[in-house]
Structures are given as structure tokens and as C-alpha cells.
Structure 1
Amino acid sequence: MVDESVVKDNEVGVSNKMKAVFYDKCGGPEVITLREVDAPIVGDYEVLIQVAATTFNRMDLWPRLDENDENDASKKYPIGMECSGKILRTGKFVAGWKQGDEVCALLQGGGCADLVAVPAYHIISPPKKLDLASAAALPRAACLIWHCFFLMNKLTNGQKVLIHGGAGGVGTLAIQIAKHYGCQVFATAGSKERVELCAALGADVCINHKEEDFSQRVKAETNGAGVNYILDCVGVNFLNQNIKSLAYRGKLIIIGFEDPWGFVNFNSKALEDMELEIMGADLNTLHLVEKARLLLLVKKNIWPLVEVGSIKPIIGRTYTFDKADDAHRLIEKHGNLGKILLIPDNT
């Protein structure tokens, strides 16, 4: 546990220490280390959170694997893009929050540490009846899904949605949200176990993309019409099949990549003929105000569904910070079901 002296010392700018996971060079999972570093100094509009849990997302992989990045990967893309925990201190101009409050936070990074300083407008209370650690699995996925489905687009009852990576951290939540809003949900996954999870979460059509061409299955299940939306975390490897799977004026929303440096030739004529749209979504590039708005929308629209059990975070594995390298290995080989949690060693 973090001593209350952390709060007092930070108020006068004294540098305290904490444990944090980071990597300062590219390479395999072995470059990931847990080290003692300076604790954050809390700004006037920030809160200091004692982290209960954070998550590991696929986007945390890429800086470590990008050997062409001349920048310090750990400083540019620190690990941990969301967290849950308790407030240890509030900044001078923060209102409405106090020490001891439990919160969820949307981060720019740095969540894989004992402490993290967060703008007060990027925190919300966790859903009631959900344990604090599990709440860490919700902010980023929920915000991304709401942004893609309801702000960038207008998902409505009766539409058809294809969700790739249906057994992953975002996919498992996206299936549940799309079903709640009355959509017919198609989901792809890469193993029998993962396909079964998609079905258990309510997906209407579950496809093992390693065993069959999902675009042919989608067309067969929709009498040739295709789907209105595709939520895609795979990227270029699925691009041509995605184009074949879309209905007239359908939209492909790319939220991630298996290979962020890959290229592919695609049928641009189909985009014109079918009036298709391809768009990308990335929470990291949103303005701070947009992120704050997203969190409030998630709290208003998604949290009540979690609280009554209509939607739940799927957590496949939990690791302590000192085993963060094992978490990286698991997600590299697509071994995770749902979210991967990382918790401090002293939890």
C-alpha cells in the first residue's frame, strides 16, 4: 500500500518513488521491466490515483515492436491506457472529488504503475456492484465503442454489425452493446473456444475466420445484402473481405491493426459502386474535451446496463505488474479472452 506521506510530499513538490512498468527500447517481451521511478506530481486540475488495476491492450505492443521508432518508446507510449483505483489527492482547483473516492480513468498512458496523475475531467465513478479491479476493464473499450457506434455513426435497431476480434477486450463488450441496441451481430474469432465465447455473449452469427471466408458467410446469412457496419481491429489483412461484406452505403470502422505497418491492394471500384465508407477511430487523438464528454456519455448510457447485469466486462487473465512481460506474450499469440488485467504486486 502507498503511504499517506506520498500525498503530503507531493503537495510540496518532493519527489517520491513508486513502481511502474515500462520499456525503454524495442524488442521482445523481455525488455519490459518493473522499476522504481519518481511518483507523479499532481497538477492543479488533476487527481492522484492509487491504481487498483489497469489493462493491457494490443496497442501497447506496437511501440515495443517498432524498431524504426527513434524515440523512447516507453515515454512516447507508456503502458496502461485506462485504470481504476482510489483518489489519494485532489489538485487545487478540482471540485466534486475527494480523497478515498473510487474512480475509473481514461489515460494517455502510465496506468501500469502504483500511482497515476489524471485530469479530473477524465475520471468517473465505477459502476455500482462491480468490484474496483474489474472496473478497469471498461473505460477505454466502452468509450471507443460509443464513439464508433453512436457519435461517428448512428447505430440503430435492426441494423447488421460485423465485429472482428469478437473474443477480445473490445469485441466482447461491442457484441453485448450492439445486441442491447437491437442489432443483428456477426462476430469473427480464430478458434473454437473464442467462437463459443462470442456465441455465449449473444452474437447471432459466429465465424471462425481461420476455417472459412467470413465475407462469403456474411453474404449467405444476409441473402447477399451484407452488413451496415464493420468494427475492425485487424486492418489490412481483412480489408478486401470487409469490402465484400458491406451492404450498400455500409461503413468500415478500423480501430486497430494486426500489422500496423502492412499494405494491401484493394478494390477501390467497389467503394464507388456501393458508396462505402472507410473510417478510423483512435481515442488517443481525440481532444481532451471530447474524451471528457465520452466518459459522461458512457456513464449515462453504459453504466446502468452494467449495474443491472445486462452487460459485463469479460476478463480472461489477471497478472501482477512484475508479470507484465507474460501478459505481452499472451496477447502476442492471441491467447487472451476478453481483457487482460494488470494489478500492483501489493494488491
Structure 2
Amino acid sequence: MRILGIESSCDETGVALVQTEDGPGLPRLLAHALHSQIAMHQAYGGVVPELASRDHIRRVLPLTQAVLDEAGLAREAIDVVAFTRGPGLAGALLVGAGVACALGASLGRPVLGVHHLEGHLLSPFLSADAPEFPFVALLVSGGHTQLMRVEGVGRYELLGETIDDAAGEAFDKSAKLMGLPYPGGPWLAKLAEGGDEQAFRLPRPLLHSGDLDFSFAGLKTAVLTQARKLGEDLEARKADLAASTQAAIVEVLLRKSLTALDRTGLRRLVVAGGVGANRQLRAQLDAACKRRGVRVHYPELHLCTDNGAMIAMAAAMRLQAGLEQAQPRYAFDVRPRWPLDALAAG
């Protein structure tokens, strides 16, 4: 079975094709293509939803054709069309949903709406070092920071989540306060490589709260306060402030993840989402998990950002697990707000 996945939840248009084999093996990626809108949104310092939606309209069909060409297949070879149903920007989601349903109807193929965060959660199964169930998952994607206990496809228990800003927002907002370009997170991480992470004492919110929840709004405020204190010296100390900010975020993510492993008794950790590409986070998690005899898994770096491969993969794994029925229904809706722990298992 070949599943086409379309991702359009925010500012990346992604299309991919995966194929399932007979038997218990994992689906494999046949081809994928991605267009990022970063250059378009940089002038505004953030994502402009209307512009994002219009760009998805321009990109999705050419990307679909590019994927089919790479795989050497015609449209008729598609067996199921999957799309991101939510969460995300409503207008952007509607583009992917509309195209997916139109394509499915034209081919007489089933269409399946997929949870964006489930796509991230299952994206490490596309890597050469695929995990095995059960595991603890650290989801650090955009406005989401969550710890989940994952027993299998569709079997998710929320252990903790952010109560205000997510880790990705803390990176991006702190970077903006330092005058770094959009999107700020990667710029801050790059700048931090040349800084002293102990230069500034920044808070680690909820580090000793006793629960597995996160809070990064206070850290952003502390960065703003420190930047104002530095005044004209900010430019000279920017690398140190970036390194100190990154160290605070990484320490909270690390300590909470290790606590989740201890409380669940699980020996496997999956890290997914855009922040999962952060080198400092990966290095510290790798070292800490190695000391504890815990396996840690990540998506391939090019699949950490939003992409169609994770949507196709999630659809394929849900179909394999018998949680979805491949039926040709073409009425659709989108869910801009859709908690992952509320996702029905069947």
C-alpha cells in the first residue's frame, strides 16, 4: 500500500510517499519534498497566516508531482491520501485538507486526516535506528512541549506539558529579543556555540516543581531583563546571553525527561520535533542516557521540521495497527486545537 502524505499546518509545505509491505515490517519512505516559507516570513518577524495559506496553495501540487516523479510512479499508484488535520493554522490546514480530499475523490482513493503531533511522535520510525514500543516521548515542536508515555500507536498518556510558552517559543522569542533573524531558534543555537553558558544566571522554571510540566515564559522575561541591563553592551555579550539561554532550556528539558524515565521505569526515550535538532540538547541527552543505560532515538535531522513524510508514516502505522479504516469519504474538517492525548485509539 502506498500512502501520500500532505503537511500544511504552518509555514512548511511537505509532501511524501511511503509504502507498507505485507507483514509486520515498518513502512518505508519512497520520496519526499519540502518547501519552507522562512524567507517569505522573515520580513515580518514571524508567520503571517494568510500569506502561509496562499503559499501552500501555490506549492502543494508541484511538490506532489515532484514526489511522484522521484518515486517513478503515476498518481494512480497512490492507494491512500493522508493530510494534517490539526493542530495548526486553520487556513493552512484547510489547504492541505482540500487538496487531499480533491485528489482522493479524483482517484477514488481513501483519505485520512492525521494528527500533526502524532506525525512528529512517530517520525523516528523513519530513521535507520527506529525505536520500539514502549517509550517515553519528549515532543518539542513549535508551540508544543510535552512528555508522553507511549505504549503503541494511538496509545498515549500525557505525563506533562507546558503551561505557557513552549521550548521552541522560548528559543524564538529570546532570539528576537536579541535582535536575531526569524526563525530565531537556530540562529540562537548557532550564536551560543561561541558563548559562555555560565555568563548569566537565568531561571530554570519548574525545574524543582515535583511534576513533569514545563514553563518558559519566565525565562523569556529574564532574557528581556538581562538584555535591557546590558544596553549598549548587548552586542558584545550576545553570544554569552544566547549560550546561557540555551543552557537553561536544555537543562529543563533534560531533567524533566530523565525524571519521566525514572517514574515510568521505561528504558527508551524518543525526542521529536524541531527543537529535537538542537545539538546541545542531543549531546546532553545522549550522555545522560548512556550513563543510565537508556536508548534515545531521534528523527533524521532533515525530518525534525514539519514534513510530509511524518504524516504519511503516521497514517501508514495507524492503518497497519487497525486503528483506521481506509474508506473513500471526502467530507473533511480541520482541528486547529487538538490535544494529542485526546486522540482516539480507534
Give TM-score scaled by structure 1 length.
0.37
Higher strand share: 1
Bigger RCO (CA 8 Å, 6+ sep): 2
Higher helix share: 2
Give TM-score scaled by structure 2 length.
0.37
